[in-house]
Chain A
Amino acid sequence: MKRRVFLGASAAAATHWLWPESAGASSALVLVPIVAAGSPVTDISLGTLRRVFTSQPVSGPGGVSFVGFNQPAGARERELFDRVVLGMGPEEAARYWVDQRIRGGVRPPRSVPNVALLRQVVVRYPGAIGYVALSDLDASVRPVTINGAGPAAPGYPLR
């Protein structure tokens, strides 16, 4: 059974409409960006997400640099996220990172082997941003809206 997680009373009140309880029960994959529960970040633009996950330096609130943590390659979450955020399919994304490596460019964000660990990493690593399926949310992390839209909002991009 999936639990609804509220990171704080104010935050929960503010975002209650954004995270309907039934939203996570849908059979379609819906991704949610997450940060540590204590992070001041509540919303992020799709462009910021793109820059973070293409290893561009991006500073968040309080001057803390965002650090993206990916799901493992081949995971459905990773495929959807790359397609929506980076605009690349799996093969295209792989070629992109190989190309970056060859050119001495940036390295891809680290992939974390499983969701549980990803959540822990997001919790423990300062400035960490990850993403999980809506159904994998728990209270240790805070979901972040994208351009102010939550998963229940029409036009939510990570679905």
Chain B
Amino acid sequence: MADAPEVTAQIESRRRLISRVRLKLRLILMSLLIVASLSALSLLIVRSVFSSITPSLRSDLRWKAQRGVAELSHSGDFGVLTGNLQQLQQSSEHYTSDADVLYVRFRGEQAQVLFERGSARGLPMEEQASEAVAENALAFVSWAPVVIEGLRVGDVTLAVSKARLQSGAELYRRMVILGLLGGGAALVLAFLFVRFYIAPILRLTERTFGELEQSARAALASAEAKTQFLANMSHEIRTPMNGVFGMLHLVRQTELTSAQRRYLDVLASSTRSLLKVVNDVLDISKLNAERYQLLPEPCALRDLAAEVGTLFEQRALEKGLRLSVEVQPSTPEGVSLDTDRFRQILSNLVNNAIKFTEHGAVELSVRASPASANASPTSGQHQLEILVDDTGVGIPESERSRLFQPFSQVDASSRRLHEGTGLGLAICKKLLELMGGTIEYLPRPEGGSRFRIVVPVNACAPAAPVAALPEAPSRRWSCERPLLLVDDNEVNQLVAVEVLEGLGLRVDVAASGHDAIEAVLNGDYALVLMDCQMPGMDGYEATRQIRARQRGARVAIVAFTAHALAEEREKVRQAGMDDFLIKPLELPALEQVLSRHLPPAPASERRISSRAPGAPPPGKAATPAAPLPASALQSMAEPLQPGLRRPLRAVELFLTRTPGEIELLRRAASEAEFAAARALAHKLKGTAGSLGARNLAQCCAALEYAQPEPSAAQLDTLLAAIEQAYQLASAAMRRELRESQRPPEVSSA
């Protein structure tokens, strides 16, 4: 199947083609219609012309008959009187030679015919009163007495042909017929053209277009499913990692041997690497799917550069490298940037530089120049230029072409020295492209590498200084009011409560959106950590209702979610939340959030640990957080394995409630309430996962994330699998319970 962008491009191309074809066809059809219209118009014109000419011609001929007979009666009077044929011939010569005159006759006093020219056949020859004109289809016939000095000496008759009128009418008839035939022919041609030429083309193009659209929809659905899958996987991976990070943090605060602490450091490092891999894969997928949305905000460039320097200072020191950060004075204090993404880019470059440099120095330098000559340093557009220089091994010329390609590393062999996904530079490049910037590699003549970034930015007021650093020692928070943790997942509740209490904070817990609203409206909280995805009322709706109903001081609400997509950030902002905390919960991120929303503790209480990496653990009295109870530790996301200890209360609760929840799930499925079924599956998945019932959790996840909506038969299969997994898990748990209640065997030895 083609990629969605490719199919979209094909569709656009076909759409343009169809538009062109349609345009041409429309033009041809229009031409034919114009021909038909012109024919009709010509007919109208001809009709109009003939309508005006015919009466005039008719009048002329009638007048000719009247006038002619009057003239003849005068000029031929002596001829009539004398019976002089020659005289009559001369008198009527003018008329007898006229093509319109059909008949001339002079008669004497006794009505004897003296002179006659032409044929009177078919003419109305009844004697008329003087001045009267008789007519029939052939002619106008006029008669007059011939009078000399009052004496009637004869009469004269003149017939003027209507042939000219008839020929005009005939011409008009022919033109009408021709016009009608022409117009009709044009219409018939238009019909035939549409029927046999246009219609098949349109049918073909529309069918092709329909097929393409179908392909596009399928491709887009596939891309959507991929993105959804990525989001789900991100959620799925981050949720258990929340537990891992939390436990790591808590375990580090227990008494450990130096070996255990080393192991924990390795574990923490590996976990962070894993998280980075997950984040990288997620980022590149989103960037490739063009679903990445930047969130520009005021960014204090100097602070950001300093933060990146501080982040990697320790690592540089460990490798014996000199890391320097230089920001030129012309650089604006504040610029509009997606700070997180820009930090990601700088961190990636500095991290790479340190990674591939064994001796010497790594230098991060920032400078900016106004995009136009008249822009001031504190306002307007700037070109931000960032150089990351190192004295490392450099990059061979042959490898430079694939430097910014995804999944490509300069040393891709299985024996490579440096770990990593090979996605970092590709992500940097795509992020910079989104920002309208560029990145390029420049080899340094003296050895080493230089990466140069150029980004157009708008200067703005600087942002608040960046808060605490990730690896900064924990500090104690002094807050009179409690925090409210809203999470339906008991494991997450446990971890977060322990961590927060460990920081000296009091925490209340709400397990649903409704409970959260009640608690916030009736209580006084310094901060709310709101899980976004909860059954029933989710965190977004709960926040909206709190914002709508809360009177008095506005409580800060921080989204606490395992969804890391950029859309999620926008969604929580729109719901009215103030900040964003991604699961798994990491202490530095938590402390950054807390620092933004809680008042700082008195100086004497602030630093609660000055433990350096590898230093012995602090004494119990100095440790702010009590060691996690064994039951809590045992309830972490461990797989359901024989011998694994689980909290007794949680297991009992699980065994008591789960059959009812499965029944509810089945009922929701049977009533086609798929959203409700999805929410129930989500909840059961969390509980099962926390107790290590992984099969059950996976079955629930399959139902929760089923795309598209499963059919009834598929739902039955999923429900059967869930029930079966529950039966197995519950049997195993009961077995564990029985074994745990059995008195310990005393060794006979």
List the interface of chain A (C-beta within 8 A of B): 67, 110, 112-113, 117, 120-121, 124-126
Residues of B near A126 (CB, < 8 A) are: 151
Q: Are A124 and B82 in contact (CB under 8 A)?
A: yes
Q: Are A124 and B81 in contact (CB under 8 A)?
A: yes
Indicate if B78 sits at the interface (CB-CB under 8 A): yes
Q: Are B151 and A125 in contact (CB under 8 A)?
A: yes
| Nearest CB in chain B: distance from A49 CB, A | 17
Q: Mark B170-211, 1 if CB is under 8 A from A, else 0.
A: 000000000000000000000000000000000000000000
Q: Are A121 and B149 in contact (CB under 8 A)?
A: no
| Nearest CB in chain A: distance from B154 CB, A | 11
Q: Are B149 and A117 in contact (CB under 8 A)?
A: no
Question: With A124-B81, A124-B82 in contact, is A110–B148 under 8 Å at CB?
Answer: yes
* Assembly CA distance A139 to B652 (angstroms): 168
* Assembly CA distance A50 to B78 (angstroms): 23
Q: Are B149 and A112 in contact (CB under 8 A)?
A: no
Residues of A near B81 (CB, < 8 A) are: 120-121, 124-125
Q: Mark B276-319, 1 if CB is under 8 A from A, else 0.
A: 00000000000000000000000000000000000000000000
Residue of A nearest to B74 (CB): A110
Q: Is the interface of A mostly helix, strand, loop or mixed?
A: mixed
* Assembly CA distance A117 to B85 (angstroms): 11
What are 13 A-B contacts defined by CB distance under 8 Å? A110-B148, A110-B149, A117-B82, A117-B87, A120-B81, A120-B82, A120-B84, A121-B81, A124-B81, A124-B82, A125-B148, A125-B149, A125-B151
Across the A-B interface, the 3 shortest Cβ-Cβ residue pairs: A120-B82, A67-B149, A124-B81
* Assembly CA distance A113 to B88 (angstroms): 12
Residues of A near B82 (CB, < 8 A) are: 117, 120-121, 124
| Nearest CB in chain A: distance from B649 CB, A | 143
* Assembly CA distance A121 to B151 (angstroms): 13
* Assembly CA distance A120 to B84 (angstroms): 9
Q: Are B148 and A117 in contact (CB under 8 A)?
A: no
* Assembly CA distance A135 to B328 (angstroms): 143
* Assembly CA distance A117 to B81 (angstroms): 10
Q: Given contacts A120-B82, A125-B149, could you give 16 more A-B pairs where the C-beta distance is less than 8 Å?
A: A67-B149, A110-B77, A110-B148, A112-B78, A113-B87, A117-B78, A117-B82, A117-B87, A120-B78, A120-B84, A121-B81, A121-B82, A125-B81, A125-B148, A125-B151, A126-B151
Q: Is the interface of B mostly helix, strand, loop or mixed?
A: helix
Q: Mark B129-169, 1 if CB is under 8 A from A, else 0.
A: 00000000000000000001101000000000000000000
Q: Are A117 and B84 in contact (CB under 8 A)?
A: yes
Interface size on B, residues (CB 8 A): 9
Residues of A near B78 (CB, < 8 A) are: 110, 112-113, 117, 120-121
* Assembly CA distance A120 to B151 (angstroms): 16
* Assembly CA distance A120 to B87 (angstroms): 12
Residue of B nearest to A65 (CB): B149
| Nearest CB in chain A: distance from B93 CB, A | 13
* Assembly CA distance A124 to B84 (angstroms): 12
* Assembly CA distance A33 to B148 (angstroms): 20
* Assembly CA distance A44 to B151 (angstroms): 24
Residue of B nearest to A67 (CB): B149
| Nearest CB in chain A: distance from B151 CB, A | 7
* Assembly CA distance A113 to B78 (angstroms): 9
Residues of B near A113 (CB, < 8 A) are: 78, 87
Residues of B near A110 (CB, < 8 A) are: 77-78, 148-149
Give the one of B77, B82, B84 with max A CB within 10 A. Answer: B82
* Assembly CA distance A110 to B148 (angstroms): 8
* Assembly CA distance A125 to B77 (angstroms): 12
Residues of A near B151 (CB, < 8 A) are: 125-126
Residues of A near B149 (CB, < 8 A) are: 67, 110, 125
| Nearest CB in chain A: distance from B73 CB, A | 13
| Nearest CB in chain B: distance from A28 CB, A | 29
* Assembly CA distance A117 to B89 (angstroms): 14
| Nearest CB in chain A: distance from B79 CB, A | 8
Residues of B near A117 (CB, < 8 A) are: 78, 82, 84, 87
Give the one of B78, B81, B148, B151 with max A CB within 10 A. Answer: B78
* Assembly CA distance A125 to B78 (angstroms): 10
- Chain B, range 74-112, C-beta contacts under 8 Å to A: 77-78, 81-82, 84, 87
| Nearest CB in chain A: distance from B114 CB, A | 13
* Assembly CA distance A120 to B82 (angstroms): 6
Q: Mark B486-503, 1 if CB is under 8 A from A, else 0.
A: 000000000000000000
Residue of B nearest to A68 (CB): B149
Residues of B near A125 (CB, < 8 A) are: 81, 148-149, 151
Residues of B near A112 (CB, < 8 A) are: 78
Residues of B near A67 (CB, < 8 A) are: 149
| Nearest CB in chain A: distance from B554 CB, A | 116
Residue of A nearest to B82 (CB): A120
Residue of B nearest to A112 (CB): B78
* Assembly CA distance A80 to B446 (angstroms): 143
Residue of B nearest to A111 (CB): B78
Residue of B nearest to A123 (CB): B82
| Nearest CB in chain B: distance from A116 CB, A | 8
* Assembly CA distance A151 to B236 (angstroms): 156
| Nearest CB in chain B: distance from A141 CB, A | 13
Residues of A near B148 (CB, < 8 A) are: 110, 125
Residues of A near B77 (CB, < 8 A) are: 110
| Nearest CB in chain B: distance from A110 CB, A | 7
Residue of A nearest to B91 (CB): A113
| Nearest CB in chain B: distance from A4 CB, A | 24
Residues of B near A121 (CB, < 8 A) are: 78, 81-82
* Assembly CA distance A88 to B148 (angstroms): 26
* Assembly CA distance A120 to B153 (angstroms): 14
* Assembly CA distance A63 to B148 (angstroms): 19
Residues of A near B84 (CB, < 8 A) are: 117, 120
| Nearest CB in chain B: distance from A153 CB, A | 32
* Assembly CA distance A117 to B440 (angstroms): 126
* Assembly CA distance A156 to B77 (angstroms): 33
| Nearest CB in chain A: distance from B307 CB, A | 124
Residues of A near B87 (CB, < 8 A) are: 113, 117
